[in-house]
C-alpha cells in the first residue's frame, strides 16, 4: 500500500532533506524509522528537497509498505521511532499506487521569516534570519512584483542547479509585515508549481537589499533581465526558510 505523509521538521540538525551517506538527513531519519516497522530498505519520495538548515511545516512524502497499516497507527509508530530527531509525521493518508508526492504536486508554497531587532534572538534563534535594521516593505513589494510571472530566472538560480531550464512561473511573491511578541518580522510568501535551486533564498536576499535602501526596486528588474547569476543580490541564510505547503489536485489529507 502507498501512504502519503505530511512531515514537519526543524532543519538545523540535518544536511537537508535528501538522504546522504555520511550526514544526517530528514529522509534518512524517516526511512530508518520505517525500517523499524518493516525490516528492510525503504526509499521515500518527497515533494521537494530542502537544503541544509531549511525547515518543513508541511512537507509531503510517500512510502510503500507491505502491511495493511491504518494511517493513524503508522503516524503514531513513526513518531515513536523518530525520537529524538526534530521530525514529526503530522498526518498520513492512503493514496492510489500511481500517486506521487513529487510528480502529482501542482504547487509548492514557501515562507521566509526575517526578524528585525538588535537584541539577539533566543526562542527564535535558528528559526529566522535576524537583521538589526528596519526594512521598507513597500519598496520590497515593488521589487518583488517584477519577479511575478513567467521568466528566465537564471539570475536567481544556484550555479549547481540541476533543473533542465531556468524558465519558471512565479505565481505569488507577497511581502508582509507581522508584529510578533518578540519583535517585528517580515514574511515572504512565495508560491509556484516548482522552483529552481536556491531560488527563494536568492529572491529574499536580493529584496532585503531593496528594503535596506541599498538597491532600488528597478534594480531587481535589471537583475532579472540580466539573466546572469552575478547580477543576483546576496543569498539569504537558510534558517528563515520553510516549506510551508504542497498543493495537489485532490488533497490526500482533506478529511471528509
Q: What is the mean pLDDT of the chain?
A: 96
Q: Return residue ranges of the chain for CATH 3.30.70.580.
A: 2-104
Q: Tell me whether residue 51 is one of the annotated catalytic residues.
A: yes
Q: What is the mean pLDDT of residues 54-59?
A: 98
Does the pLDDT at position 29 exceed 70? yes
Q: Which residue numbers belong to the known binding site?
A: 110
Rounded Cα distance, 54 and 34, in Å: 23
Q: Which three cell numbers stand for residue 136?
A: 521598507
Q: What is the pTM of this model?
A: 0.95
* H runs (alpha helix) in the chain: 26-37, 71-82, 137-145, 199-211, 217-226
Q: Which three cell numbers stand for residue 189?
A: 510568501
So what's the pLDDT on residue 38? 95
Rounded Cα distance, 183 and 251, in Å: 35
Which of 10, 3, 118, 144 lies closest to 67 in space, CA to CA? 3
Does the pLDDT at position 236 exceed 80? yes
So what's the pLDDT on residue 54? 97
pLDDT digits (tens, 9 = 90+) for 160-199: 888 889 999 999 999 999 999 999 999 999 999 999 999 9
Q: Return residue ranges of the chain for CATH 3.30.70.660.
A: 107-244
Question: Does domain 2-104 bear CATH number 3.30.70.580?
Answer: yes
CA angle in degrees (0–180, nearest 5) for 108-198-53:
85
pLDDT digits (tens, 9 = 90+) for 101-120: 999 999 999 999 999 999 99
Chain centroid to CA 92: how far?
19
Q: Which of 51, 64, 136, 219 is catalytic?
A: 51
Which of 57, 208, 206, 197 lies closest to 127 in space, CA to CA? 57
Does the pLDDT at position 78 exceed 80? yes
Q: What is the mean pLDDT of residues 228-251?
A: 96
Q: Which residue numbers belong to the known binding site for substrate?
A: 110
Q: What is the CATH number of domain 107-244?
A: 3.30.70.660
Does the pLDDT at position 83 exceed 80? yes
Q: Is 78 helix (H, G, I), strand (E, B) or coil?
A: helix
Amino acid at each position: 500500500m502507498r501512504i502519503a505523509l505530511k512531515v514537519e521538521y526543524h532543519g538545523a540538525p540535518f544536511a537537508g532533506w535528501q538522504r546522504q551517506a555520511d550526514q544526517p538527513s530528514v529522509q534518512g531519519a524517516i526511512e530508518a524509522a520505517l525500517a523499524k516497522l518493516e525490516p528492510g530498505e525503504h526509499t521515500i519520495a518527497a515533494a521537494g528537497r530542502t537544503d541544509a538548515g531549511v525547515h518543513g511545516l508541511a512537507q509531503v512524502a510517500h512510502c510503500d509498505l507491505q502491511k495493511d497499516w491504518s494511517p493513524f497507527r503508522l503516524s503514531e509508530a513513526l513518531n515513536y521511532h523518530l525520537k529524538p530527531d526534530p521530525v514529526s509525521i503530522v498526518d498520513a493518508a492512503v493514496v492510489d499506487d500511481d500517486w506521487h508526492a513529487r510528480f502529482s504536486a501542482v504547487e509548492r508554497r514557501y515562507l521566509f521569516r526575517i526578524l528585525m531587532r538588535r537584541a539577539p534572538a533566543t526562542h527564535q534563534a535558528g528559526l529566522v534570519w535576524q537583521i538589526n535594521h528596519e526594512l521598507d516593505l513597500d519598496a520590497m513589494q515593488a521589487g518583488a512584483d517584477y519577479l511575478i510571472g513567467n521568466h528566465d530566472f537564471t539570475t536567481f538560480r544556484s550555479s549547481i542547479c540541476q533543473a533542465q531550464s531556468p524558465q519558471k512561473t512565479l505565481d505569488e511573491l507577497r511581502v508582509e509585515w507581522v508584529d510578533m511578541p518578540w519583535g517585528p518580522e517580515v514574511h515572504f510568501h512565495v508560491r509556484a508549481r516548482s522552483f529552481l535551486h536556491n531560488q527563494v533564498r536568492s529572491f529574499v536576499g536580493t529584496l532585503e537589499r531593496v528594503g535596506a535602501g541599498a538597491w532600488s526596486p528597478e534594480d531587481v528588474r535589471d537583475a532579472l533581465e540580466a539573466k546572469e547569476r552575478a547580477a543576483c543580490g546576496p543569498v539569504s541564510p537558510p534558517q528563515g526558510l520553510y516549506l510551508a505547503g504542497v498543493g495537489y489536485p485532490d488533497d490526500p489529507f482533506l478529511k471528509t
